[in-house]
Amino acid sequence: MTKLNINGESHEVEAPNDMPLLWVLRDLLGLTGTKFGCGIAQCGACTVHIDGKPVRSCLLAVGSIDNRAITTIEGIGATETGAKVQKAWLDLEVIQCGYCQSGQIMSAAALLAANSNPDDADIDAAMAGNICRCGTYVRIRAAIKRAAAEA
Amino acid sequence: MHETIMTSPSRRSLLKAGLAGGFVLAFHMPLRAENEPNQPPNNPAGQFAPNAFIRIDHAGKTTFVMPQVEMGQGVYTALPMILADELDADFSQVALEHAPPNDKLYGNPIFGIQATGNSNSIRAFWKPLRIAGATARAMLVQAAASQWQVDPASCTAANGIVTHAATGRTASYGDLADAAAGLPAPTDPPLKDPKDFTLIGKPLKRLDTPNKTDGKVIYAIDTIVPDMKIATLAQSPVFGGKVAHVDDSAAKTVPGVRKVVVLDDLVAVVGDHMYAAKKGLDALVITWDNGPNTQLTSNDIWNDLRAASRKDGAIAKSVGDVDKGLTQGDRYDGEYELPFLAHATMEPMNCTVRLTPGACEIWTGTQVMTRVQATAAKAAGVPIDKVTVHNHLLGGGFGRRLEADMVDSAVRIAKEIDAPVKVIWTREEDIQHDIYRPVYRDTISASLQNGKIVAWKYKVSGSSVMARWFPPGFQNGVDIDAVDSAVDMPYDIPNRQVAYVRAEPAAVPTGFWRGVGPNNNVFATECFMDELARKANMDPVEFRRTMLGNNPRLKAALDLVAEKSGWGQPLPPRAGRGVSVQPSFASFIATVVEAEVDSNGEVHLRRVTSAVDTGIAVNPDTIMAQLEGGLIFGLTAALWGEVTIDKGRVLQSNFNDYRMLRIDEVPNIEVHVIKSSEDPGGIGETGATAGPPALRNAIYAATGVTLRRLPIDRAALAVNRA
């Protein structure tokens, strides 16, 4: 059994050590908010936080996590920064199809937790790993600034 | 409607206990189409259901059944706004349901089938939904007036309540539901004067987005049903190939692998989870019978298309005498070519199937409800009415989900195993087994006299998607989509001809892609317009203006975008502005892209500005969002999009080699919505069509290099090119 700390709760799963966290979350724990997009860490749809840092869960072996804190989209609203990002996303109506937005919000929340006042270059650097096929980038940039201003 | 909000731990207990898959409800909206009522949705017991779209229960809960699907374009907000405005419903209390498959009740009036595409959801349903809302309102008002024994004309309705001001009486829609249900529907209910709209025209918040911020939204790929297995598949890398032999000995040793399914055209590995399925698939040794296409290359396809484009086409439009017109003034010729493109929806193709004796149940995200139902029925070998389709919010459509191939293969895989199965395509399968935007070639000849175009001879050559997908759209040799925005190009030209040559690429399946026919025609038309402006020694905006006399709406958009984009103001060296205009999808849009080309030929977007007259903007914020996103979609294709073929295989496989624009490459985008009282136009695809020619013309202005193919050829733009 692998012990995992997810969104402040302890979980035990029976999973091979090399199984990516993405599929543990989705297929073993029913936490389907974290999305599969590419499987090769190119699109960012599967972004979660490990000890507050954004990580692509599609390539993260579950056996390598140990007792580090995992935060997913289902839990990010419990953090102050995460809640601000979610609110800004709705205030500026960022979302279209929404499939990439779990990952976008996780990357944005991690950025703001590390840098409370990011400029365009900071935002571009932090968010360039997250693809949005609907093209919501302009609003993502604005919403991150909005969330920062709420601080 | 389901009131339960099921949170993640519950979903986990579901997985563990193997209980029925639950429902999730967001903001009065079911995100999962579970337990569709067996009775026709237009006549559920105990509710006021005057038509297929509206149900009001005794508590006043107002449910709208959505005939079109939500894939990000905002129809799950705009269509309810239209219904609620004419109904005078309380918009904050509206619940939504996905329509079940039923062409008769929910067919798109433009297609005649239940299909969401061609940017026509609002255009197609604008009148029908206004009438549906107004009918229901009239019946509710009549019910109140009868109870109060007053003239219905002396009653008013607002926010789900009928009021008789003179006597101070009020009744809620819920209270009136029974009485209204007993009344005959009026045949010609009065529709509101647009000045009386209370919702239409306001930038209301979307109904589908709150649960897209917290992981609660359920896309098809998130389906969980009891005892479900997960499968992933491999189809022949070479188009048209078949499975010859499979060595599955290694795959079967992968922990969690339950079965290897070998069909004629694909191999699937079924496992307890996607990791087992994927690892199992990777461990298979598959020998393919590659079939006849092993030598096929992109070059072959281009050579075939170029040869086909030299034939005479079927005439789609003819005005004046184009051949005579071409002898007047100076004649110029241009040829434009556009590549195969994949859709690459962020949610990969998937479908969950549960087969029971004599019946089939599927969970998917589709733009074509009845088609996937029929496809599943055929594959499962059951009658159509024994197929239940649970549709979902789509993680992107872009035309890919106008096809049913992912449903067909999932059902065929499900037939080989004794459990429900969720089939998920890898991104590699998604890119390499798409139904691609066709390659197109456009040839144009025009003559120019005194700064005006005298003749315009235009020929489109390419695949007819209509002939396969919607045969009534292919008649007398003309595909109406392939010539869309060519036959109705906006400029005043006295002699004009548009022809079409159907040329199907060898082996490569072709389908609709966001922007459809106009994507190709607006590109070729607007690129050539810039070349002619240069020949005429005229400013590209002024050149267009002089020929837009019959298109005042487009001319106004052009004037506005010129003003807002800073057209004509100085720019640094190797930076330029390019303009495009389009009358496509009944929206009138002018766009300016500002771009800079560095010495290596790399293109940097600096600024994008659009002005749009889309008629009545049902939700102006959605109009802006669709253009912002659509422009990025189109610019992505212009800068990076190309699927190429070698040895009969697609060479691209994932986002590393099928590039998407990322946030650090995207500039500010400004959209200006022009106020209009015309009927609404389409918007979802317009940005995808507008971006590429404006970018190409910006590069033309910045460098003087005449690009006539997409994607952008950096080598041709480099300062010291080899």
Q: Which domains does chain A have, with CATH numbers?
A: 2-75 (3.10.20.30), 77-149 (1.10.150.120)
pLDDT band of residue B21 (cuts 50, 70, 90) is very low
- Same domain for B254 and B194, yes or no, is no
B380 phi/psi in degrees, rounded to 5: -85, -20
Biggest alpha carbon distance in chain A? 44
Give the residue ranges of chain A where pLDDT is below 70. 151
- Same domain for B189 and B89, yes or no, is yes
- Return the number of CB contacts < 8 Å for A and B: 194
Q: Would you say B82 and B615 are in contact if contact means Cβ atoms under 8 Å apart? A: no
Partners of residue A109 in chain B, C-beta under 8 Å: none
A97/B395 CB distance under 8 A: yes
Q: Going by DSSP bridges, is the β-strand pair B495-502/B421-424 parallel, antiparallel, or unpaired?
A: unpaired
SS3 B388: strand
- Same domain for B656 and B591, yes or no, is yes
- Same domain for B334 and B362, yes or no, is no
By the CB < 8 Å criterion, does A151 face chain B? no
**Residue A19: closest C-alpha in chain B:** B275
Q: How far is A26 from chain B (nearest CA, A)?
A: 8
Q: Please report the residues numbered 121 through 150 in chain A whose beta carbons come closer than 8 angstroms to any beta carbon of chain B.
A: 123-125, 127-141
SS3 B270: strand
CATH of residue B536: 3.30.365.10
By the CB < 8 Å criterion, does A2 face chain B? no
Please give the average per-residue pLDDT across B629-647, as a whole number: 98
Please give the average per-residue pLDDT across B204-221, as a whole number: 97
Partners of residue A131 in chain B, C-beta under 8 Å: 346, 655, 660, 662
B101: which 2 tokens? 């498959």
- Same domain for B314 and B393, yes or no, is no
Q: Does residue B672 belong to any structural domain of this protein?
A: yes
Q: Give the structural domain span for B259.
A: 220-291+349-424
pLDDT of B29 above 50: no
What Rg value do the Cα atoms of chain A yield, rounded?
15
Q: Would you say B278 and A28 are in contact if contact means Cβ atoms under 8 Å apart? A: no
Q: Does residue B501 belong to any structural domain of this protein?
A: yes
- Same domain for B258 and B124, yes or no, is no
B96: which 2 tokens? 């939504």
By percentage, how much of chain B surpasses pLDDT 90?
93
Q: What is the pLDDT of residue B6?
A: 29
By the CB < 8 Å criterion, does A100 face chain B? yes
Helix spans in B191-262 (H): none
If one compares B50 and B20, the residue with the highest pLDDT of the two is B50
Q: Give per-residue pLDDT as tens, B42-81.
A: 445 679 999 999 999 999 999 999 999 999 999 999 999 9
- Same domain for B270 and B167, yes or no, is no
A56 beta partners: A47
Q: Going by DSSP bridges, is the β-strand pair B603-613/A9-13 parallel, antiparallel, or unpaired?
A: unpaired
B390: which 2 tokens? 């649970």
Cα–Cα distance measured from residue B576 to residue B702, given in angstroms and rounded to the nearest whole number: 4
Question: For chain B, how many structural domains are there in total?
Answer: 3
Cα–Cα distance measured from residue A86 to residue A109, given in angstroms and rounded to the nearest whole number: 9
Q: Going by DSSP bridges, is the β-strand pair B649-650/B645-646 parallel, antiparallel, or unpaired?
A: antiparallel
One-letter identity of residue B384: I
- Same domain for B135 and B86, yes or no, is yes
Q: Does residue B3 belong to any structural domain of this protein?
A: no
By the CB < 8 Å criterion, does A36 face chain B? yes
Domain boundary among B424, B446, B480: B424
**Residue A136: closest C-alpha in chain B:** B629
A134: which 2 tokens? 């609907």
Residue with tokens 């020998």: B287
What is the secondary structure of B584-648 as a DSSP string?
Answer: GGG-EEEEEEEEEE-TTS-EEEEEEEEEEE-SS-SSHHHHHHHHHHHHHHHHHHHHH--B-EETT
Q: Give per-residue pLDDT as tens, B233-272.
A: 999 999 999 999 999 999 999 999 999 999 999 999 999 9
Q: What is the pLDDT of residue B46?
A: 74
User: Buried b / exposed e across A93-130, counting CB within 10 Å, b at 16+?
Assistant: bbbbbbbbbbbbbbbbbbbbbeeeebeeebbbebbebb
Domain boundary among B395, B424, B453: B424
Please report, for chain B, how many H helices and E strands are present, in that order. Answer: 18, 31
Cα–Cα distance measured from residue B338 to residue A11, given in angstroms and rounded to the nearest whole number: 51
pLDDT band of residue B201 (cuts 50, 70, 90) is very high
Please give the average per-residue pLDDT across B489-494, as a whole number: 98
Domain boundary among B162, B179, B212: B212
User: Buried b / exposed e across B707-720, counting CB within 10 Å, b at 16+?
Assistant: bbbbbbeeeebbee
Cα–Cα distance measured from residue B78 to residue B61, given in angstroms and rounded to the nearest whole number: 19
Give pairs for B174-177: CB < 8 Å, separation 24+.
B174/B56, B174/B57, B174/B58, B174/B59, B174/B60, B174/B61, B175/B58, B175/B60, B176/B48, B176/B140, B176/B143, B176/B144, B176/B147, B177/B47, B177/B48, B177/B56, B177/B57, B177/B58, B177/B60
Q: Does residue B430 belong to any structural domain of this protein?
A: no
Q: Does residue B1 belong to any structural domain of this protein?
A: no
Of B210, B274, B654, the CB nearest to A23: B274
Q: How far is B213 from chain A (nearest CA, A)?
A: 6
CA distances from B642 to A138, B235, B339, B709 (A): 24, 21, 6, 11
Query: Which residues are CB-neighbours of B356 under 8 A, at least 6 positions away?
Result: none
Please give the average per-residue pLDDT across B545-573, as a whole number: 98
| The model's pTM | 0.95
pLDDT of B171 above 80: yes
B71/A16 CB distance under 8 A: no
Q: Does residue B499 belong to any structural domain of this protein?
A: yes
Which of B513, B461, B465, B517 is closest to B488 using CA atoms?
Answer: B517
**Residue A48: closest C-alpha in chain B:** B215
Please give the average per-residue pLDDT across B638-647, as a whole number: 98
Cα–Cα distance measured from residue B473 to residue B460, given in angstroms and rounded to the nearest whole number: 16
Q: Would you say B53 and B83 are in contact if contact means Cβ atoms under 8 Å apart? A: yes
- Same domain for B587 and B505, yes or no, is yes
- Same domain for B617 and B509, yes or no, is yes
Q: Would you say B241 and B234 are in contact if contact means Cβ atoms under 8 Å apart? A: no
| CA B185 remoteness from chain centre | 34
If one compares A33 and B8, the residue with the highest pLDDT of the two is A33
For chain B, the residue count is 722
Q: Would you say B695 and B595 are in contact if contact means Cβ atoms under 8 Å apart? A: yes
Q: Give per-residue pLDDT as tens, B696-715.
A: 999 999 999 999 999 999 99
Cα–Cα distance measured from residue B692 to residue B523, given in angstroms and rounded to the nearest whole number: 7
Q: Would you say B685 and B516 are in contact if contact means Cβ atoms under 8 Å apart? A: yes
Q: What is the pLDDT of residue B701?
A: 98
Q: Would you say B437 and B688 are in contact if contact means Cβ atoms under 8 Å apart? A: no
Q: Does residue B440 belong to any structural domain of this protein?
A: yes
Cα–Cα distance measured from residue B512 to residue B479, given in angstroms and rounded to the nearest whole number: 13
ipTM beyond cut 0.95: yes
pLDDT band of residue B720 (cuts 50, 70, 90) is confident
The CA-based angle B684-B687-B692, given to 5 degrees, is 145
Q: Give per-residue pLDDT as tens, B91-149.
A: 998 999 999 999 999 999 999 999 999 999 999 999 999 999 999 999 999 999 999 99
Query: Which residues are CB-neighbours of B174 under 8 A, at least 6 positions away?
Result: B56, B57, B58, B59, B60, B61, B160
Partners of residue A95 in chain B, C-beta under 8 Å: 72, 206, 209, 212-213
Query: Which residues are CB-neighbours of B376 under 8 A, at least 6 positions away?
Result: B353, B360, B362, B387, B389, B407, B408, B411
Cα–Cα distance measured from residue B404 to residue B412, given in angstroms and rounded to the nearest whole number: 13
Please give the average per-residue pLDDT across B23-33, as a whole number: 31
Q: Give per-residue pLDDT as tens, B273-311.
A: 999 999 999 999 999 999 999 999 999 999 999 999 999
- Same domain for B515 and B551, yes or no, is yes
Q: Does residue B285 belong to any structural domain of this protein?
A: yes
CB atoms near residue B264 (< 10 Å): 8
Q: What secondary structure, in 3-state letters, does B694-709 show?
A: HHHHHHHHHHCCCCCE
Q: Going by DSSP bridges, is the β-strand pair B440-449/B242-247 parallel, antiparallel, or unpaired?
A: unpaired
Of B631, B654, B666, the CB nearest to A40: B654
What is the secondary structure of B113-168 as a DSSP string?
Answer: SSB--TT-HHHHHHHHHHHHHHHHHHHHHHHHHHHHTS-GGGEEEETTEEEETTTT
- Same domain for B582 and B547, yes or no, is yes
Cα–Cα distance measured from residue B76 to residue B96, given in angstroms and rounded to the nearest whole number: 8
Q: What is the pLDDT of residue B63?
A: 96
pLDDT band of residue B722 (cuts 50, 70, 90) is low
Q: Would you say A36 and A51 are in contact if contact means Cβ atoms under 8 Å apart? A: no
Query: Which residues are CB-neighbours of B57 under 8 A, at least 6 positions away?
Result: B46, B47, B48, B63, B174, B177
Which of B447, B434, B20 is closest to B226 using CA atoms?
Answer: B20
Q: How far is B697 from chain A (nearest CA, A)?
A: 22
A31/B12 CB distance under 8 A: yes
ω into B711 cis (within 30 of 0): yes
CA distances from B698 to B526, B607, B656, B692, B695 (A): 12, 11, 27, 10, 5
Q: What is the pLDDT of residue B19?
A: 32
